[in-house]
Structure 1
Amino acid sequence: MAVTDSTVTIVVDEQDDLFYTRTALQAHRPGEGRITVQPTPASGSPAALAHDMLYALGKRLAPGPNSPDVWLDSVNAAWLAAAAWGVAMGVRHVVVPRSHLLTRRRIDQLLAWRESTGAQLTLLWQTASRGLPPVLARVERHISGRDQFEALLAEPGPIPARPFFPPAPPMARPAVVADAGQSRAWQPQEARTASLRPGQLAPPCLGAMATAQVVQAAPALEIASEEAAALAALAHPLITGALSVLAFTRVGVGSLRFTRDLDITGDVCAIKLHGVGHRYCPLHAVPAWARPLLAGARAHHRLTSHPPGDGVFAPVMLAGAQHLRAHAGRLPRLDLSLPASVLVP
């Protein structure tokens, strides 16, 4: 992998000066789009560095041999999750101390993550520079000296510090409440077909942006801040996004099966869900706490090169269904019951 652009910087610290490590740790400010990733010493897990990245992003993997996060032991799955959160959270600068201890494979993983996210990457090489592997020796930007390092950390990154999530637009007309007590929204004729004859195709269903022009979004149900924080700490973007939607809508999990990329508005202020045959496809307002989480799910979907018409949550409705159920069970206060019967095609 050739690295020649200025968004990768090598900071050479041959004397292993404590100043550089301390300054790097103090620079960790996720709210400003800058994180410091501390590699786990001597970890033999292939996905260890991706887990360190997720930890720096505020995500916590569930512990234990039967953990519902066991699928993040896969290198590709873990780095994809880290890239999705990096994009969704607007990370613009990543600092990695003691990068001279990383294997070449893990350095390649870091560089690939940078390619996916567009963030700036700074590696602290805290030994003699003659030990740089070829892929880093080709980096154009090498610095040494305390003043240069402090100036580097003060530079703006190549992407915004944080995505802008504007407040949801005011609702124009009162929502209709279903008999079952769930919040529902008025729907245009194309999304509330009364019945379909056997073999008859459902009418085309508009995406969230088009629907939002003519339909008010049902208000989000409130949850406690502790539950929102618990959801935000989940490591896998699709699981986090799916459980978040269930929490603020209280719809059945089957409603997520057909949710497409185009069913989430560009500002992540509304999401459209779908019933069988598109007989009932409500539009729901997304609360502020859930917007970064749904942005993570959408980023994950797009990083895997899916077209907008594909289901965003499809992987966790099928292969990842057991992980989705396990995480739901770890959040008993949210009462997110997920029967196995609705998680199969």
Structure 2
Amino acid sequence: MAVVYGDVTIVVDEQDDLFYTRAALQAHRPEEGRITVQPTPASASPAALAHDMLYALGKRLAPGPNSPDVWLDSVNTAWLATAAWGVAMGVRHVAVPRAHLLTLRRIDQLLAWRESTGAQLTLLWHKPPHELPPALARVERRISGRDQFEALLAEPGPIPTRPYFPPATPMTRPAALAAGQSPAPRPRETRAAPLRPGQPAHPCTGAMATAQLVQAAPSIEIASEEAAALTALVHPLIAGALSVLAFTRAGLGSLRFTRDLDITGDVCAIKLHGVGHRSCTLHAVPAWARPLLAGARAHHRLTAHPPGDGMFAPVLSAEARHLRAHARRLPQLDLSVPADALAP
């Protein structure tokens, strides 16, 4: 059976056959763009389903009543983070067992998430089909039977609507460097001419243009356990910002000027800026940090910011306390000192 791009499928399991739930759980392979989300039963939190999806994506909310992730209790904030990670990680198919237990509001949230990401959504409905709510009763594609369900799980799923994180490709050298020519030494920084008092700062090119002329500075290595701790952070902007601090040891001032266009299309390099663009450095992005920066960029784009806006601005001002709290939770990375420079 062909898959309609970005469609919704209802799997009717009126007898609540354990086979369907087990098959859905076994199909959970985030690295292949497939996740299975298990809704938390009887949770009164408005953002509970978004948290369940974030958990399925490998993200972990910081525990405790004073958690730095408390701002993700906001429904809009949590679902925006979920959409950003879904896009950045290339999620193409989401299966949700026991969908008949979801409230109408949470079903609407799931459908809205599907609209923003373009992923295929499969809901396991363990009750008679006549009890489907209006939002799902209009869904044309319904299946029942083990063979149909196994075939559905075997389908590759649609291509993501917004491929923010394409496969990495090697950086090309400038066209002027023909075969056999010896390239001139490349500087590690781009420096604008000195500015006179009152003179506007020179415009600064993005990372793609800079990567054609400048050798990226190598990233600083960190332990795999530390990279895993950063990868598990829930908010895309916090995960992206702290990862940049970890592999560059740059100051927070550089992050204030980081734009969407300062990350290459393959997320292999990021350009950090000095005040007035007088000292801007291109840094190589390690493999573990690329999905995190892809998540930050997806979050930025989903909020409809222009490419020239500061990507990390929201967590360097209004939400600075959350960034600072997460930095303190990672003492092994020694990020607490720069994070303390943030305004309370």
Flag whether TM exceeds 0.5 (same fold).
Answer: yes
Distance 1:333 1:257 in 2: 24
* Per-residue deviation, residues 267-311 of structure 1 (Å, max 9, x unmatched): 101101111111111111111111111000000000001110011
Q: Which moved more, 1:158-167 or 1:113-122?
A: 158-167
Distance verdict in 2 for CA 1:6–1:248, change over 3 Å: closer
Distance 1:340 1:160 in 2: 35
SS in 2 for 1:84: helix
Distance 2:110 2:323 in 1: 28
Task: Tell me the equivalent position of 2:33.
Answer: 33
SS in 2 for 1:142: strand
* Per-residue deviation, residues 77-133 of structure 1 (Å, max 9, x unmatched): 000000000000000000000000000000000000000110000000001111100
Task: Tell me the equivalent position of 1:155.
Answer: 155
Distance 2:118 2:143 in 1: 21
Task: Tell me the equivalent position of 1:258.
Answer: 257
CA deviation after TM superposition for structure 1 residue 175, in Å: 7.2
Structure 1 contact 88–295 (Cα < 8 Å) conserved? yes
Q: Which stretches in structure 1 are left out of the alignment for 5+ residues?
A: 177-184
Distance 2:343 2:198 in 1: 22
Alignment of 1:5-84 (within 5 A): 7-84=7-84
Task: Tell me the equivalent position of 2:168.
Answer: 166
Task: Tell me the equivalent position of 1:272.
Answer: 271
Task: Tell me the equivalent position of 2:189.
Answer: 186
Structure 1 contact 253–338 (Cα < 8 Å) conserved? no
Equivalent AA in structure 2 for residue 304 of structure 1: T
Aligned-residue CA RMSD (Å): 2.0
> Is 1:91 matched up with 2:82?
no
CA deviation after TM superposition for structure 1 residue 216, in Å: 1.1
Q: Which stretches in structure 2 are left out of the alignment for 5+ residues?
A: 174-182
Structure 1 contact 5–140 (Cα < 8 Å) conserved? no
Task: Tell me the equivalent position of 2:176.
Answer: none
CA deviation after TM superposition for structure 1 residue 337, in Å: 2.7
Distance 2:185 2:322 in 1: 37
**How many residues are matched?**
330
Equivalent AA in structure 1 for residue 243 of structure 2: S
Task: Tell me the equivalent position of 2:106.
Answer: 106
**In percent, how many aligned pairs have the same letter?**
80
> Is 1:129 matched up with 2:120?
no
* Per-residue deviation, residues 119-167 of structure 1 (Å, max 9, x unmatched): 0000000011111000100001000001000000001111169954325
SS in 2 for 1:66: coil
SS in 1 for 2:49: helix
Task: Tell me the equivalent position of 2:199.
Answer: 200
Task: Tell me the equivalent position of 1:303.
Answer: 302
Distance verdict in 2 for CA 1:230–1:167, change over 3 Å: farther
Distance 1:85 1:246 in 2: 20
CA deviation after TM superposition for structure 1 residue 170, in Å: 8.2
SS in 1 for 2:35: strand
CA deviation after TM superposition for structure 1 residue 343, in Å: 2.9
Distance 1:170 1:266 in 2: 13
SS in 1 for 2:336: coil
Equivalent AA in structure 2 for residue 87 of structure 1: V
Distance verdict in 2 for CA 1:175–1:228, change over 3 Å: farther
Task: Tell me the equivalent position of 2:231.
Answer: 232
What is the TM-score when the length of structure 1 is the normalising length? 0.91
Equivalent AA in structure 2 for residue 289 of structure 1: W
Structure 2 contact 83–113 (Cα < 8 Å) conserved? yes
Distance verdict in 2 for CA 1:246–1:170, change over 3 Å: farther
CA deviation after TM superposition for structure 1 residue 340, in Å: 6.2
Task: Tell me the equivalent position of 1:249.
Answer: 248
CA deviation after TM superposition for structure 1 residue 197, in Å: 2.6
Equivalent AA in structure 1 for residue 240 of structure 2: G
Distance verdict in 2 for CA 1:32–1:238, change over 3 Å: same
Task: Tell me the equivalent position of 1:215.
Answer: 214
Distance 1:224 1:271 in 2: 21
